[in-house]
Amino acid sequence: MVVSGVPRIYLLEPARTCSLANKVDIELSVKGQLWKPARRDFFPIFSGSHPLLYNQSKVTVNPSWSESAAATAPVPQQKTPTSPAQSRRQKVLVTGGGGYLGFSLGSTLAKSGASVILLDLRRPQWEVPPGTQFIQADVRDEGALFRAFEGVDCVFHVASYGMSGTEKLQKEQIESINVGGTKLVINVCVRRRVQRLVYTSTVNVAFGGKRIEEGDEDSVPYFPLDKHMDHYSRTKAIADQLTLLANGTPLPGGGSLRTCVLRPPGIYGPEEQRHLPRVASHIRRRLFMFRFGDRKTRMNWVHVHNLVQAHLLAAEALTASKGYVASGQAYYINDGESVNVFEWMAPLFEKLGYSQPWIQVPTSWVYLTATVMEYLHLALRPVCNIPPLLTRSEVHSVAVTHTFRIAKARAQLGYAPDKFSFADAVEHYVRSTARQPRGPTARTLLRLLLGLLLLLGLISLGLHFLQPLQAAVQRL
């Protein structure tokens, strides 16, 4: 359904699958609002060198990607032969271009010959490569987006907020960026006649703590929005739907916006800034002496090089030369293999000189502790910042199997993930960080003792005040 040339936002029923092939049926089946946004104005009708620059032999990008401009123009014009040098360089924009994935993607695009704009509030910590422009701007600033999107052929919307740690608890910030920012990106794409939009989503649109084994795009539904335990997953699911429903939106002067979404799990690779450093910090502080969950629990990861490859292929699959095969489609993207997170992290413990977790604790205890720590963080935030060791959603990610097939991406995009080792990323991390003192010290042992006492206290508090929650968790 289209209103004034742009799509309306819908919340899909829990029973609906992620496939939007029968869009009309889905739109007519909506039975009401499942989630109350933190702010109503986010949900109206639309108005040095980087380490990734290696091993790119399998990723080929045509600098003059899209034929869609000629294919969708109101008055087709006969083409005249031109040499590659005469072809116009494609102009692409990457939101979140100051982050790890966004910068990696932009660097690869620049190397391929495209004219690249990196847009982010935060400047990249790496040297911006030749042929790349950095614009410091907020995805919630419509005016800044409108200026930046001028002449852009394809937008990669990578920017997001609230993936892990204390960020996951900042609801208004998460919502304003993930929902409000995506709404504005789509709006400006339409106003600026951008023909292609690739959105970086997450497997969490489907995973909410219930077991998923070898799920795919057609068989696994969106997790009910009102059942998500963290606002990041909820808002990413909304943005995922926004992007897919925007597919086919008419553009001023002719043509239409082609969109698709990619759903990766956790990302790793050289100089990754989020997962590996955080876990390494906990290991050095002796906070990861315990493990939880079944040893058979499995999950997926994706190397940054493979995820960049998927973005390039998805953008190309939105062109006329590829039959718009990715138009309106969602794709799970990972390395093509599943792992147990504690076994997968073994090289990190080894390289840091610490033994692997040897204390097995019940998942229900860890979940209760995470719940109490979340509330404690929120209660004390005006006074001091106490980051939770783990959040509830992170506990579920570790303790509950959730794996996804990539057959659709292989078949439609030609996605062929390379083989990478987490141990290589660990080796790079260890070399690039200052050497930390190892072995027990009096201060370390005291901190450990205090931490264990705090943990026991939190568990006792949780057992006292959260009896209904404990019963629900034990049914996992």
Say how far apart CA 208 and CA 14 lie, in whole Å.
12
Say how far apart CA 457 and CA 436 lie, in whole Å.
30
Helix locations, 249-358, DSSP H: 275-284, 304-316, 341-344, 346-352
Q: What is the DSSP letter of 254?
A: S
| Counts of helices then strands in the chain (DSSP H, E) | 17, 16
For residue 127, the SS3 value is coil
Assess contact for 403 and 375: CB atoms under 8 A. Answer: no
Tokens standing for 64?
Answer: 């003059």
The torsion angles phi and psi of 35, rounded to 5 degrees, stand at: -150, 135
Q: What is the DSSP letter of 357?
A: P
Q: How far is CA 81 from the centre of its chain?
A: 41
E strand segments, 59-204: 91-95, 115-120, 132-136, 154-157, 196-200
Say how far apart CA 415 and CA 463 lie, in whole Å.
47
Q: How far is CA 118 from CA 50, 80, 201, 272, 433, in A?
A: 14, 33, 18, 18, 27
415 is an active site residue? no
Say how far apart CA 295 and CA 298 lie, in whole Å.
8
Say how far apart CA 310 and CA 297 lie, in whole Å.
26
Point out the catalytic residue in the list 232, 332, 415, 429: 232
Catalytic residues: 232
